[in-house]
Structure 1
Amino acid sequence: MTDALTLTDVSLSLSGNAGTVDILHDISLSVATGETLGLVGPSGSGKSSLLMLMGGLETATSGSIAALGTDITSLGEDNLARFRRDNMGVVFQSFHLIPTMTALENVATPLELAGVRDAYARAAAELDAVGLANRADHYPAQMSGGEQQRVALARASVTRPKLLLADEPTGNLDETNGAAIIDMLFGLREQHGATLIMVTHSNELAARCDRVIRLRDGRIDTVKAAAE
């Protein structure tokens, strides 16, 4: 079986007013299909940057990334956007909902972009799955942080992505809401068989993953099964 993700000698450098900053150094790793992987490490270690590279939301300075057997580092912008649309779901810490759209419209958007005819019916079912059927017509500003994150989770999972990427999905939530989001995230992954890769500062959350990779100073520090 093809791995869900394979990174080979991947590095990332960003240029700014202060010069070039090296973010990631020669990262090589594989993520098995259906695996849950936690990315942990101190702030500034490169966790979120690595996740963005995996999702094709950042461009590697060097090295290659194969997602579901496709070399995404060789894709042009349009083809990469289509590949993400058809295969990936991303959950951000800051939700990234469209403020002028209702919850239902936010969740339906990726389906509409993919040309799905029953986009709104499927979006409504997904909102129901995360317990927000009664909030479908509400705008993000009318919802709590926990509710907004559930909408973001519904939007990420409604297309049944093969790869589900989450960047600190509980970072802006209180303990109760954070626990609920994590239960939903793992529940959706188990229901639909996606490969889940998650950046987190939470040891408790990392412990629920099959494997944990710790980053330090832009390099892989340790790799271990979560139970170890």
Structure 2
Amino acid sequence: MTTPILGLQNAGLTLAGNAGPVNILRAITLNVQRGESLGLIGPSGSGKSSLLMIMGGLEQATSGRVMALGHDLTAMDEDQLARFRRDNMGVVFQSFHLIPTMTALENVALPLELGGVQDAFGRASAELNAVGLGARMDHYPSQMSGGEQQRVALARAAAPRPAILLADEPTGNLDGKNGEAIMDLLFGLRDRHDATLIMVTHAPELAARCSRIIRLKDGEIDGEGLEAAA
């Protein structure tokens, strides 16, 4: 039997609230196979983004276990998790999270430099060309449209050639035309780097492009497929 690239075993997330503990995720058990594209859907507050965060070690599960590429993320401290993400994961957020004082090229090259990659700027340049920004490399985020900034964020996520791509509402801040273009690029990057893609989205038409869809409701898995997603 093939070992999942990412697996959750009874993973839960409970956070402290003003009125006491709040259960964000409850006993999530889920396996993701290498090469899959997985869409996470559900109403607001269902736990989609929180699930993505614990999958990427951006938030520590408070119960259960999260395994990625054979490593137990729940046993790592923050520094270990940061190094693991740097070497194995690319993350794309709804908000682009670009460094405003750096050019597009510098934004993409920075994580490569931190990872000790040879020719970081050469690889960053290639990724920006791949997302159609060859002529915008020396521009700062404030000089770019929202669609262009998200393209930079995609290039930054893909440049380390991660095994796992995580995307949290990657088209949420974009209009329909730009959103569709970003999705084409995201799936293209996944194919080019042979990565596993896990994506949170509110849009059924975007989720439908994934090879598998998981529905969430009230912090629990509510089934698979688009049915009953409303």
Are residue 164 (structure 1) and residue 165 (structure 2) matched? Answer: yes
Q: By how many angstroms is 1:196 displaced?
A: 0.1
Partner of 1:51: 52
1:99 equivalent in alignment to 2:97: no
Q: Deviation per CA, 1:44-72, whole angstroms, max 9, x where unpaired?
A: 00000000000000011100000011111
Cα separation, 1, equivalents of 2:207 and 2:78: 32
State how far apart, in whole Å, the 1-side matches of 2:134 and 2:21 are.
Answer: 47
Amino acid at match of 1:51: L
Please report the TM-score for the alignment, with normalisation by the length of structure 2: 0.96
| Aligned-residue CA RMSD (Å) | 1.1
Does the 8 A contact of 1:36 with 1:195 survive in 2? yes
Match of 2:181? Answer: 180
Paired with 1:225 and 1:189, the residues of 2 have a C-alpha distance of 22
1:132-172, Cα deviation, whole Å (9 max, x unpaired): 01111111111000000000000000000000000000000
The answer to whether the 8 A contact 1:23-1:218 is kept is: yes
Paired position in structure 1 for 2:24: 23
What is the CA-CA distance between 1:225 and the residue it aligns to?
8.3
Q: Is 2:21 aligned against 1:6?
A: no
Deviation at 1:223, TM superposition (A): 1.6
CA contact (8 A) 1:210 1:225 kept: no
TM-score under structure 1 length normalisation: 0.97
Aligned counterparts, 1:87-126, within 5 A: 87-126=88-127
Single out whichever of 115-124 and 158-167 deviates more from structure 2.
115-124
Which residue pairs with 2:138 in the alignment? 137
Q: CA deviation at 1:117?
A: 2.2
Unaligned stretches of 5+ residues in structure 1: none
8 A Cα contact 2:87 2:115, kept in partner: yes
Q: Distance in 2 between matches of 1:119 and 1:19?
A: 47
CA distance in 1, matches of 2:99, 2:71: 30
Do the aligned residues in 1 keep the contact of 2:47 with 2:219 (CA within 8 Å)? yes
1:32-91 alpha-carbon deviations (Å, 9 max, x no partner): 000000000000000000000000000111000000111111012221111110000000
- Structure 1 stretches of 4+ with a deviation exceeding 2 A read 16-19
Q: Distance in 1 between matches of 2:135 and 2:143?
A: 13
Aligned-pair identity (%): 71
- 1:95/1:149 contact within 8 Å kept: yes
Q: Which residue of 2 aligns with 1:60?
A: 61
CA contact (8 A) 1:211 1:225 kept: no
Deviations 1:88-114, CA, capped at 9 Å, x for gaps: 000000011111111000000110011
Which residue identity does 2:89 align to in structure 1? M
Distance 1:167 1:18 in 2: 28
Q: Say whether the 8 Å CA contact 2:215–2:226 is kept in structure 1.
A: no
Q: Secondary structure at the match of 1:33?
A: coil
- Pairs aligned (count): 226
